Amino acid sequence: MISMEISSTTQNNHQRIHPHKFTMWVAIASICMMFAGLTSAYIVKRNQDNFLEFSLPNYIWFSTIAILLSSVTMHLAIKSFKARERQKYKLFITLTTFLGIAFTLLQIMGFVKIENQGIALIGHNSNAAASFLLVIIGLHALHLLGGVIVLIIMFFKSFSQKIKTYNSVPLEIMATYWHFVDILWIYLLIFLIWVRS
Amino acid sequence: MSNEAILHANMGSAHATHDDHHEHHQETFITKYIFSQDHKTISKQFLITGMVWAVIGGLMSVLFRFQLGFPDDSLPWLEDLLGKWWAAGGHITAQGYYALVTIHGTVLVFFVLTAGLSGTFANLLIPLQIGARDMASPLLNMLSYWFFFIAGIVMLSSIFVETGPFSGGWTAYPPLSALGDTSPGSKTGMDLWIISMALFVVSSLLSGLNYIATVLNMRTKGMSMTRLPLTIWALFFTAVVGVLSFPVLLSGFILLIFDRNFGTSFYLSDIFLSATGTALPNEGGSAILFQHLFWFLGHPEVYIIILPAMGIVSEILSINSRKPIFGYIAMVGSMFAITALSFIVWAHHMFVTGLNPFLGSIFTLFTLLIALPSAIKVFNWLTTLWRGSIRFTPAMLFAIGFVSVFISGGLTGLWLGNSALDIHLHDTYFNIAHFHLVMGVASILAMFAGVYHWFPKMYGRRMNVTLGYIHFWITIIGAYLIFWPMHYEGLAGMPRRYYDYSIWESFKQFSDLNKFISIVVFITFSTQILFLINFFYSIWNGRKETSENPHGATTLEWTTPINPGHGNWVGEIPEVHRWAYDYSKDGKDFIMQTTPIGADEKEEKH
Ligand code: HEM
Ligand SMILES: [Cu+2]
């Protein structure tokens, strides 16, 4: 990609954001709308009768810690990548991946707990209050899992000796997405606490 | 970020030198015509796929118009052709009728007027008119087409399943869409419908992201936002609307999938199914919730359809009047206003759902507000035409036709937008007339205009002009004859989506009118075949284009070679020095955007 380097220095006298990065930002706006749709649907539903009240399982809090930590490790991963410290980079990206998986597992455990309390998430005796929780939190987790898959790919790439790339753009885009999914979770958490209080 | 980087990055090869030649890797038939990442090829793929769907969707309307116009007649060969399910005894069956109406609506709205229109012209024009070698991400762009393609295959397959395709209307309201037992089409047909639509949403999102990133980041030197042709502004706003509203539809679909497949009660409550004689356990759901989520996309969707059409028409009207577009900034501003307002009017589709009348009046206010920017646009188009030296090319005729039907259909929007009047007009033929004129016909006319106009850029040849004129006149006259009378039917209370009106005492009087409408449909549809012949014949045998700039236009796509390769310009991308509408200026017929401002010339301030 030498030509890329050259052309972007010669042509790029005015600093514009990389189009792929920008695309990620627009995608983020789009994902926001999806959750805006779901959370406003939740508000509409909550005001109807027959909306079950129950407390959130503690696992939710543990998963929140995991995702917050993963944002920190993601940040450190980028820093070490830019400093060209490959070993550290590999370590942090591995940690981030595991924290992401831990987040998802903790949430699944949370739902198992809800089910064990006798509150059906799906099926004919389910209540929309619980189903909504499943759909909203589940969709968020799917977005996180998408990120995990990309992280795993990046992880293996960092071990392949053949490709030595110093282009940090893909990683930066990934990090933006990761932090976004984190912030989205915080939003959802606050929303759920607020709307259910 | 540079254009070169995008193209190089995606050609997957590292080059040690920085050269301007971009045709350096070996292209096979597959990479050039099928899995192509060249925006121009993807544009053609969208166009031709859209045309296939237009034919399918159009044929469906011919079939159900046969039922509406001739409810007592039968064509025995129809049963041989379509089978018993659709046309037992040569009659369109009731289930067949509802399936036809539903798939006609879905296909025309989403596959033809969204993917076919935006997909074609955004792909063709965005890189060419802003001076970019390709989209921000050619790969996503290609994926977007293939998602659309697969969505189409899934939808098509639903027509052939035993219980028929989905038949609960293009809006897919629950419970028909949520409960398999409510109608034949609610079973496998609906599963396929929803899969197809989910794929389609993914396709729209991918392309929307790409269009936005490209317009904002990849413009050539000197191409400031206020120098963009209106086509680009329009396509840009279209993408913004799509990216912000499709995800909401998707969330509505996800809840629907849960209700269908996992027994949840988001949309369902207190239902007794007479088909199975059972009372369902679902409680606490609300079908209105789906309507909110659906129309939060559904209304912006109609602007996703009309905005590109407005852009195309603005461009063609200006070029063929040899006059600058009147009120460039007002045009951009009104498109912005339409974009913003389109998100806060959705409940005008729900005035009769038991919506709080106070809310209704607020939505009436916002809805009527949209008439303002729409009127500004119409005024500017008419003023652009005023005293122009008009060239009545087929493209120009279609563009003028657009303005005409947009006015006729837009005016009835004011009736419907009034929540009190809408109690009477809702779900009648008045509504059908309104949206077919303002959206269906208007956008199709603009699409034709675009195809006739940019055909030389797409294929390096010309389409036949005489056939174009015949096509135009029959289409526009036909469209008015079909949809104008429907206003009267609707005012008389004739509801939409009924299978047979002849058995209703109050609507018997319209039998002859319905017959008349149906006959005009047959004629108008047949005329479209003329266009297809013209199009495909001209791709290979049309008169060869000899000029790089056949219309004497100012925009960048006409600075490329007649048949541009991947990368569009052979040398450097040209620099832009002025806006796109310097027509009949300083004694010159037109001045290209690439021409520097002369020493004694004043730049157009707008
Ligand atoms: C002056 C501007 C407009 C106003 C005030 C307006 C108002 C309305 C209202 C109130 C309805 C609902 C009628 C009912 O269901 O009872 C409606 C339906 C519809 N409008 Fe418009 N409209 C306008 C322009 C447009 C434009 C520009 C388009 C498309 C390009 C459009 C497309 C549609 C469609 C597709 C429907 C019917 C959807 C369905 O029920 O299947 N309208 N319009
Ligand atoms: Cu609307």
| B258/A131 CB distance under 8 A | yes
> Quick one: CA dihedral B94, B97, B102, B103, positive or negative?
positive
Q: How many CB atoms lie within 10 A of CB A128?
A: 31
Chain A contact for B257 (CB, 8 A cutoff): no
**B261, part of any domain:** yes
According to the model, what pLDDT value does residue B336 have? 96
Q: Single out the residue of B59, B64, B65, B63 nearest to residue B515, CA to CA.
A: B65
DSSP assignment of B452-465 = HHHHHHHHSB---H
Taking the C-alpha atoms of residue B94 and residue B88, their distance in angstroms, rounded to an integer, is 10
> Which two three-digit tokens encode residue B339?
């974009």
DSSP B262-325: S---SS--S-EETTTTEE----S--HHHHHHHHHHHHHHHHHHHHHHHHHHHHHHHHHHHTSPP
Q: Is residue B585 part of a domain?
A: yes
Burial of B475 (0-12, 13-18, 19+ CB in 10 A): buried
Q: What 3-state class would DSSP assign to B352?
A: coil
pLDDT grade for B13, boundaries at 50, 70 and 90: very low
Q: Which amino acid is at B387?
A: R
What are the residue ranges of helices labelled H in B31-137?
A: 39-69, 76-82, 84-87, 94-106, 120-130
Please measure the distance between the N-terminal and C-terminal CA atoms of chain B and give it in whole angstroms: 28
Compute the distance between CA of residue B194 and CA of residue B67 in angstroms, rounded to an integer. Answer: 27
Tell me: pLDDT of A146 over 80: yes
| Rounded mean pLDDT, B383-408 | 96
- Both tokens of A131, joined, read 């189903």
Q: Is residue B596 part of a domain?
A: no
- Domain extent, residue B343, equals 2-9+33-270+279-590
pLDDT bracket for residue A125 (50, 70, 90): confident
Tokens representing residue A84 in the block: 């060209």
Q: What is the pLDDT of residue B399?
A: 98
pTM: 0.91
Q: Are B131 and B148 in contact (CB under 8 A)?
A: no
Amino acid identity at A70: S
B52–A contact, CB cutoff 8 A: no
B211 falls within a domain: yes
Strands B278-279 vs B272-273: parallel, antiparallel or unpaired: antiparallel
Band of pLDDT at residue B26, cut at 50, 70 and 90: low
Query: Would you state the pLDDT for residue B5?
Result: 56
Tokens 């790969």 found at: B139
Instruction: Indicate the range of A127-136, B18-27, B128-137 predicted with least confidence.
Output: B18-27
Domains and CATH numbers, chain A: 21-196 (1.20.120.80)
In chain B, residues 144-203 whose CB comes closer than 8 Å to chain A: none
Q: Could you tell me how many CB contacts below 8 A there are between chain A and chain B?
A: 151
Nearest to B1 among A19, A51, A139 (CB): A19
pLDDT of residue B157: 97
Q: Please give the Cα distance from B122 to B127 (Å, whole number).
A: 8
In chain A, which residue's Cα lies nearest the Cα of B15?
A3
The region, left, alpha or beta by phi > 0 then psi within -120 to 50, assigned to residue B89 is left
Please report whether residue B597 resides in a domain. no
What is the token pair recorded at B423? 């109690």
DSSP string over B535-593: HHHHHHHSPBP--SSTT---SGGGGS-SS--TTS-SSSPPP--S-S--EEETTEEE--T
Round the average pLDDT of chain B to a whole number and report it.
92
In the numeric block, which tokens belong to residue A107? Answer: 């949430």
Cis bond before residue B574 (omega within 30° of 0): no
pLDDT confidence bin for B17, thresholds 50/70/90: very low
pLDDT per residue over B555-600, tens digit each? Answer: 999 999 999 988 899 989 999 999 999 999 888 899 999 999 888 7
> Among all chains, which residue has been given the structure tokens 């007027």?
B113
Residue B1 has pLDDT above 70, yes or no: no
User: Please, which pLDDT band fits residue A10 given cuts at 50, 70 and 90?
Assistant: very low
Question: Distance between alpha carbon B272 and the CA centroid of its chain, in Å?
Answer: 39
Helix (H) or strand (E) holding B68: helix B39-69
- Closest ligand to residue B375's CA: 1
Q: Is the pLDDT of residue B23 over 90?
A: no
Place of tokens 């850029």: B457
In a domain, residue B20? The reply is no
A51 touches chain B (CB under 8 A): yes
pLDDT tens sequence across B123-179: 999 999 999 999 988 999 999 999 999 999 999 999 999 999 999 999 999 999 999
pLDDT band at A165 (very low <50, low <70, confident <90, very high): low
Residue B499 and residue B283: Cα distance in Å, rounded? 32
Which ligand 1 atom lies nearest to the CA of residue B414? 5
Of the two residues B8 and B79, the one the predictor is more confident about is: B79
* pLDDT of B307 strictly over 70: yes
Give me ligand 1 centre to Cα B414, in Å: 9
Task: Specify the number of domains making up chain B.
Answer: 1
CA-nearest residue, atom 19 of ligand 1: B435
Q: Which of B112, B171, B238, B348 to mutate to test the pocket of ligand 1 (most atoms within 8 A of CB)?
A: B348
B45, two tokens: 């793929």
Task: Say which CATH number the domain at B431 has.
Answer: 1.20.210.10
Q: pLDDT category, B30, cuts 50, 70, 90?
A: confident
CA angle B250–B445–B99, rounded 5-degree value = 45
Per-residue pLDDT reduced to its tens digit, B108-122: 999 999 999 999 999
Q: Spell A67-84 as b/e; 16+ CB within 10 A means b.
A: bebbbebbebbbebbeee
Query: What ipTM was reported for this prediction?
Result: 0.87
Give yes or no for B218 touching A (CB within 8 A).
Answer: yes
